[in-house]
Structure 1
């Protein structure tokens, strides 16, 4: 079957500064997608723990983390704490995304976002199901965990998401194409690679981790597939 062309994403009308959720699609979505509730809060096996981020208590720490060299290039979110405060609050006020703080044995080690992939820009790159979840993960304090900590945490979080959301068929990941460690974690976890795609500010490698092999989604045409030979 030939690769399909992706539908065009809805253009944002606000500036980046004014639109705190620029990836949230608000037009051209089916009633089924719009009816799906906010992502659940998964439970994780000890010694991991997960909680909702607090705009007032966590913004300074997340802002500091996002100024680290690797995250500057892979998250493009080196914002002052005040903007992080507003952004975390905007997520909590929406039914689109949930900002989360990850801890290991009581030490806060990372910032995560669990979001509705079917309402995100990435839904223009593959055949999204209304109940799909997407995950952004920045695990920063790796020294507090064993070598397998990131992979164990990813597996525990995905399993928790599937438990919490019975109708979710897959969890989506879209690391920056240059983020080799994150891509390796996805591939070792058994994710399906859905090609390279352009976001407004970066190029991503799109992955899907299905609940069952039959839940793996078809992808639209990737950058590699559309590139001329030679």
Structure 2
């Protein structure tokens, strides 16, 4: 079961994406914020039209020459092959005010014990709902690892010590995109700070900023990093604001009314 909130400096409040009800979400915020969220349309063109625009014709198997194609349900595991998230595992360390930080794609055999332990922390379990046997957490991880690469589970390692769990995902290809005007290559983040000692001392904001900027540095097609903490979770929303995200609107998801938080490439050096 996916998480239901976003973690903040005050504790593990992970971000969630659940399929929500159909229809338009409620919105709030300034008129400028709303216009910024509504100035694009999420249009998906068929291969035949893309081929026509490119001056080519589809191949016999329906693939258009010159375009990258991914196979649903199968990860892109060929070295050097572009994937939906631009090879998260090759991004390297990010230097942050709190130390050198690495996002390492999860290896279940290596990382399951520590991640499962975090999921059984009562403060974490209240939002992620993955407490119990390691098998439940394993199913959650393997569902992403066996997918088409639109969500990559990662271990967050600070100065050599695993201390957080992240999911970097294509928000424009996620159920979240049904609830806001998604733009192509919008990238979302889920965060869980694992150890109690790492909560409530500013690590959440520092790492959210570092990871959002890391995404923008390594995904040139991505103009925005998004998240959706519970609207009523003031500490979590504050952590995103402190990390350079702006409050854009409200969205209705299945289990919550969320604050859509956005970190814009164009504003990253101003916020």
Task: Identify unmatched segments of 5+ residues in structure 1.
Answer: 1-5, 10-27, 215-230
Moved more, 121-130 or 36-45: 36-45
Q: Which residue of 2 aligns with 1:185?
A: 239
Rounded to whole Å, the distance in 2 between the matches of 1:63 and 1:197 is 30
**Aligned match of 1:64 in 117, 127, 134?**
117
- On the 8 A contact 1:54/1:88 being kept in 2, the answer is no
Q: Which moved more, 1:165-174 or 1:72-81?
A: 72-81
Consecutive unaligned residues of structure 2, counting only runs of 5 or more, are 1-19, 24-41, 47-67, 71-82
Q: Deviations over 1:37-63 (max 9, x none)?
A: 422314322521220111222223222
Aligned to 1:8: 22
TM-score (normalised: structure 1): 0.71
In structure 1, distance between residues paired with 2:111 and 2:136: 12
Give the 3 Å change call, closer, same or farther, for CA 123–188 of structure 1 in structure 2.
same
* From 153, 157, 180, the counterpart of 1:99: 153
16, 21, 39: which one aligns with 2:85: 39
The CA deviation at 1:29 is: 7.4
The counterpart of 2:225, out of the listed 143, 150, 171, is 171
Aligned partners of 1:74 and 1:178 also within 8 Å:
no
In structure 1, C-alpha distance between the alignment counterparts of 2:116 and 2:245, rounded to whole Å: 29
Q: For the structure 1 residues 178 and 65, does the alpha-carbon distance in structure 2 shift closer, same or farther, using more than 3 Å as the test? A: farther
Cα distance in 2 for residues equivalent to 1:79 and 1:118:
31
**1:112-131 residue CA offsets vs partner (Å, 9 max, x unmatched):** 00000001121122211121
Moved over 4 A (4+): none
Deviation of the 1:169 alpha carbon: 0.5
Which has the greater radius of gyration? 2
The CA deviation string for residues 85-142 of structure 1, in whole angstroms up to 9 with x for no partner, is 1221221222210000001121110000000000112112221112110000011226
Which one of the candidate residues 128, 134, 141 is aligned to 1:88? 141
Alignment of structure 1 residues 125-204 onto 2, 5 Å:
125-141=179-195, 143=197, 147-204=201-258
Note closer, same or farther for the CA distance 1:122–1:116 as it changes in structure 2 (3 Å cut): same
Please report the RMSD computed on the Cα atoms of aligned residues, expressed in angstroms. 3.0
